[in-house]
Amino acid sequence: MSAGDARDANVAGPFPGLGYGEPVSDCEFTSLAGSSAEPARAAVAEEVPVAFVYAQRPHVVLMATPCDLEDLAVGFTLTEGIVEHAGEIRGVTVARHSRGIDLLIDVAAPVVDRLAARSRALAGRSSCGLCGVTAIDDAVRIPPRVVSSLTVTAEAIWRATTALESGQPLNRDTHALHGAAWATASGEVRIVREDVGRHNALDKVFGALARAGIAAGDGFVIVTSRASFELVQKAAVSGVPIVAAISRPTGLAVRMADVAGICLVGLVRGRSANVYTHPSRILPQ
């Protein structure tokens, strides 16, 4: 998309060449190869500021990919503990404008009261879910213990990982998006979501599960990123007993998964992986 195209778009951002309508746009660039320089075009991932607004009160701004925004609104609201269950979310309105996107989330009256008491406002980035947190306790919350008898085979992990890789059309075009998926115990992937932020991608998955009435704890999740502690926190809140990641976990993520009763699997590559916590959840072949 050229600067002129962006200015002519129905929903244009404040910067030349940036529109807030689609998750992927076309970009012109110069391709360098050895001593040559040639004009080229390719798809690039869009990231836009997305504001979460509860009871007309701004709560947080995240940089996110502008798709599956209702899922993001519901998933974030659940995994951040803003509501205790999905029934406290009455509705989501997506309002797009020239400065970004507002997610207007209608919640039950007790939630509004809790938010007023909590009185936390923060500003985030796609690479970090903690910017603006004012207290350590807000950043590193003690996760709930996941009570589940779910076990899977290593084969189920391999099957789900392969399905996740093939289920990311936006990343296939841009090579710039994280992916997250939820799979059944047999490794059948039911939901895949993409976003520039790994936290956002996982929140979209949990939001989609809640909106579909599917119990997250009946399966496991896979993410195409390192396993950070925030992802483990979100899985624990959602009751997911197994988290698998393409890259390695952080030390804090390992300790948090151990406390939460979550089997944390990292460095899933092909048919190999490392199981860092609660290996009894992975059955022999």
Which member of 27, 128, 131, 263 is catalytic? Answer: 128
Q: Of 61, 173, 59, which Cα lies nearest the Cα of 121?
A: 59
Cα 223 from Cα 225, distance rounded (Å): 6
Taking the mean position of all CA atoms in its chain, how far away is CA 216?
14
Calculate the alpha carbon distances from 11 to 27, 42, 90 in Å: 18, 22, 27
In 10 A of CB 14, how many CB atoms? 10
CB 44 within 8 A of CB 149: no
Token match 């974030």: residue? 76
Q: The tokens of 93 are what?
A: 């309105």
Q: What element of type H or E holds 32?
A: strand 24-33
What is the identity of the amino acid at 75? G
Phi, psi at 205, each rounded to 5°: -65, -50
d(CA 158, CA 164): 10
Annotated active-site residue 128? The verdict is: yes
SS3 156: helix
Position 22: which residue type? E
Alpha helices in 85-212 (DSSP H): 109-118, 136-139, 154-166, 169-174, 198-212
Radius of gyration, CA atoms only, the chain? 20
Residues annotated catalytic, as ranges: 128
